[in-house]
Chains A and B, each alone.
Chain A
Amino acid sequence: MDLKIVGPEASAEERAAVDAVLGPPESGWRGGERNSERDGRMARGGHEATARRDLLLPALHAVQDRLGWVSHGALNYICQRLTVPPAEAWGVVSFYDLLSTDPRPPVMAHVCDDLACRLRGAETICQGLERGFGSSERHGWHRSPCLGLCEQAPAALVVRAGEHPRAHALAPLHDAATVARALGQDWSKREDNAAARLADLRRAVPQALDGSRAGLRLLARVGTVDPESLDAYRAAGGYRAVDRALELGPERIVAEVTAAKLLGRGGAAFPTGRKWEAVARAAAKPHYLVCNADESEPGTFKDRVLLEGDPFALVEAMTIAAYATGCERGFVYLRGEYPLALTRLEGAIVQARAAGLLGADVLGRGFAFDLEIRRGGGAYICGEETALFNSIEGRRGEPRSKPPFPVEVGLFGKPTVINNVETLANVPRIVLEGGAAYAGVGTQGSSGTKLYCVSGQVERPGVYELRFGTTLGELLDLAGGVAGGKRLQAILLGGAAGSFVGPDALPTPLTFEGTRAIGASLGSGVVMVFDETADLGDALLRIAEFFRHESCGQCVPCRVGTVRQQELLERLHGGRALGSREQEMTLFQELAQAMRDASICGLGQTASSAIDSALRRFPAFPASASGGQA
């Protein structure tokens, strides 16, 4: 490819950051020093020149981490190194929220003002920061969509660029001053030992605080087994499932997963066994395994807790999945806003590789599998599986048209198994206890246990693990009920793409079929509690803003529809309805149906779902504060 690269050159620091990911440049053609003797006698082209496009996002991250932003010169150097046309690279870098193309200060606070944090005072904190610092990014902070720290709301993520980049969560925030202090603080010396790690993790699983961990299967090790030690993991029973899997052989494993009736936990509830079987049988090679850890649905944090608390379990589960489906390479696409999960998972992979549990010859059994982590760039849409593939491949995170489905044409155009973290976390148990025994837990249509992300105005927010079939009311009781003994107004089930239900839904059994029966869905397991004083109208506006911000912009119904939806809600909320309220409602219904029917992917198809449910159930909107029952 003939590139035309003009404009500024990268600084030495920027080049060093890129070279740390890509290695030193091979020739003058690729941005190295010109050597007319050598470079004049070589030519690179075709596939060889463009085959490393998937390193585009990691290279961009490297520059962002080092300098705090991506300059024109740095982008030019990356383009030269990877043979990417600058216009395409620009299209990619401008797609992601975590990558900045404007200079930013080295320390940046991403302050969450999304649903769960709003219920706990995030707006006051943001307004305090606006008064103290102004609202420009140049002052070291900006508002952020949900950071997946909802059980500690309100929360912020502080990121420091430099040679040794650091990032950590700041939660719960007490006031704007907490953020301000964090921006100036030297936080290189934070306490980090096994006891502190476990204590932090236990806070995320309040269910076990009473001492009873009886019902915990996926969370069994979270908060009790040091997540940074392979020995501790093995001592707690880890890696027995891989041994058992190697005895069973690929076909039996797929059969057991099918018998377990395991349904995907990412939101779509697709049978995992069918996915695995399709890839295992696919003639095209190689096969790829991808773990979707781009957990970004507002109110969702279960995968973060699993990754931070039990990272080896994911490595083990992926090893089994790869063995069963004939994959030699696996990717974990991890949400960019999860620095601790990244550290823990990186550590787990390194330790597993050193112990021969990953690599060219896993456990000396002649089967090859290795795993790498790819960090997301701050785009909700990349949780959609085909957008995720495009993101890994170094393209804009725009969803592809389906069919073809990932099991036929997935990552790099090859058959691909893609599963959510929680789905995979069930695999070792299925292998150990057998599919039939696993299917015996839960209900007929929903087997096993489910993780719920309980947040909002509830006494004990956190991740809860329950057998399918437990009712919403029982879950709420387990979480200590509505905070401060207030009355329940509504619960957001399944996240921003889910729906609002009222107190009448408390007897609903939490199963895929049970929630479907009341016109809701479990989605990613979000259970966000709004008490009688909560401003539902404010929540709806935030949801509308979220979808407008996160739409990839590819298809018309979603790109423009999410904007019109937000404008419509603002008119209703501000009492400026066009014509009558009924006219606006008709317009909304038509808009919602067109987005549901004609959008390319799930984002547009569900962008009006929660708002629609609230408008139906709580017709008093926009009269805030006391929505009440319909």
Chain B
Amino acid sequence: MTQDPIWFQPPPRSLQVPQPPADPVRERLAIEIDGRSVEVEQGATILDACRQAGRDVPTLCFLETLTPVNVCRLCVVELQGSRVLVPACSRQAEAGMKIATASERVRLARKLVLELLASSVDLATAPGLAELMASYGARPERFGPPAERATVAQPAKIDNELYVRDYAKCVLCYKCVEACGYDAQNTFAIAVAGRGFDARISTEWSVPLPTSACVYCGNCIAVCPTGALSPKSEFDLRQIGEWKEAEQTRTDTICGYCGVGCTLTLHVQDNRIVKVTSPLDNSVTHGNLCVKGRFGFEFVHPIPEE
């Protein structure tokens, strides 16, 4: 019998590295995209299938890290046998579906969606939309001169030091609401309020952000597809015409604030950090950060001399 108390004996060390459970084997099914058969996993969406088939389907309110809400209707495709077009981003692929991604009906619907958006929203900072409008031949001026059509134009909301909400650029894609809610942050500081054309992203009673439940994680900025939400640092530079995206460098580093190890992408212009993001496909962050990682970078810069 040994003299040592039993709790002195560490358990034998396993030589095996723990592995996550294997992915369940999903059945595969075949669907037809523009006349070409594609095999996808059960549960895949039509959009997944289209991408697999190499067919380009534009999206606006869709993001890989968020639950699809299919509200922008830019990704609509024609499903044989369906009375209306279906949203590729959310509709699950079913065996035997026949999809047309660029039929006349599809192209018309997309053109109109782009025209309707561009005729009511300032899309100047929305990446990729100008090219898309050109390729679909979208001409928003068909709906009349700007002064004679309703728009969502309004002054930008600047009510805190960290980020700006310029809802004149908002296409109401619901992404920020999702990121603030169940899909990422669980803060629920913003929601869609009002109805119809007057629907807006809003805090309760439109109170300023500092009064609301906002925790300034900025995850709403990360998912905004039009630049309606932007860091104050970016907004201010844009205002004076000094935002030079082409000249910026991007450097990945690991956030030093805590032990989680989020990847930060530092956007640097003229040797100053002007914005911090995180890659969408990063396994730690999925593009999300907290207030420190996203906004706590000013201390890096030298203190300006008097």
Residues of A within 8 A of B (CB): 1, 3-4, 6-7, 72, 75, 85-91, 94-95, 101, 379, 396, 401, 403, 548-557, 559-564, 567-568, 571, 578, 587, 590-591, 593-594, 596-600, 605
Contact = CB atoms under 8 A, between A and B. Distances in A.
Contacts of B116: 556-557, 560-561, 564, 594
Contacts of B212: 4, 87
A587 B112 CA distance: 10
Contacts, number: 162
A552 B172 CA distance: 12
Nearest to A568: B143
6 contacts: A85-B189, A552-B195, A553-B199, A560-B116, A563-B197, A567-B150
A95 B111 CA distance: 29
Contacts of A568: 143
B119 interface: yes
Contact of B196 (A86, A552, A600): A552
Contacts of A3: 213
Contacts of A550: 195-196
Contacts of A560: 116-117, 119-120, 197
Contact of A72 (B142, B150, B205): B205
B12 interface: no
A38 B175 CA distance: 40
Given A567-B150, A598-B73, A553 B196 contact: yes
Given A567-B144, A594-B108, A599-B84, 16 more contacts: A1-B186, A4-B213, A72-B204, A86-B203, A87-B190, A87-B191, A553-B192, A554-B71, A559-B196, A560-B120, A587-B142, A593-B109, A594-B113, A597-B85, A597-B105, A600-B73
A290 B72 CA distance: 30
Nearest to B198: A553
B112 A590 contact: yes
A94 B149 CA distance: 24
B213 A86 contact: yes
A86 B198 CA distance: 19
B171 A556 contact: yes
A548 B150 CA distance: 12
B113 A95 contact: no
B42 to A, nearest CB: 15
Contacts of B87: 401
Contacts of B91: 401, 403
A3 B257 CA distance: 26
Contacts of A549: 196
B128 to A, nearest CB: 16
B109 A594 contact: yes
A555 B72 contact: yes
Contacts of A593: 105, 108-109, 112
Given A556-B71, A567-B150, A597-B85, A94 B195 contact: yes
Nearest to B73: A598
B144 A557 contact: no
B148 interface: yes
B196 A562 contact: yes
A553 B74 CA distance: 16
B195 A598 contact: no
Interface in B187-239: 188-199, 202-205, 207, 211-213
Interface residues of B, number: 50
A613 B81 CA distance: 25
Given A87-B188, A553-B195, A587 B113 contact: no
A553 B143 CA distance: 19
A72 B73 CA distance: 35
Contact of B144 (A559, A561, A571): A571
A469 B195 CA distance: 40
Given A401-B87, A553-B172, A555-B71, A597 B194 contact: no
B277 interface: no
Given A4-B213, A598-B112, A598-B113, A563 B150 contact: yes
B237 to A, nearest CB: 30
B47 interface: no
B196 A91 contact: no
Nearest to A395: B191
Contacts of A551: 195-197
A597 B199 contact: no
A7 B113 contact: no
Contacts of B265: none
Contacts of B113: 556-557, 594, 598
A87 B73 contact: no
Interface in B152-200: 171-172, 186, 188-199
A380 to B, nearest CB: 10
B196 A548 contact: yes
B144 A578 contact: yes
Contacts of B199: 552-554, 559
Given A564-B149, A594-B112, A75 B204 contact: yes
B49 interface: no
Contacts of B203: 86-87, 90
Contact of B194 (A1, A553, A555, A561): A553
A87 B109 contact: no
Contacts of B171: 556
A19 to B, nearest CB: 21
A237 B202 CA distance: 54
B271 to A, nearest CB: 38
B70 interface: yes
B285 interface: no
Kindly list the 6 A-B residue pairs having the minimum CB-CB distance in the complex, ordered from nearest.
Answer: A553-B199, A85-B188, A594-B112, A91-B191, A86-B204, A560-B116
Contacts of A72: 204-205
Given A555-B72, A556-B71, A567-B150, A90 B193 contact: yes
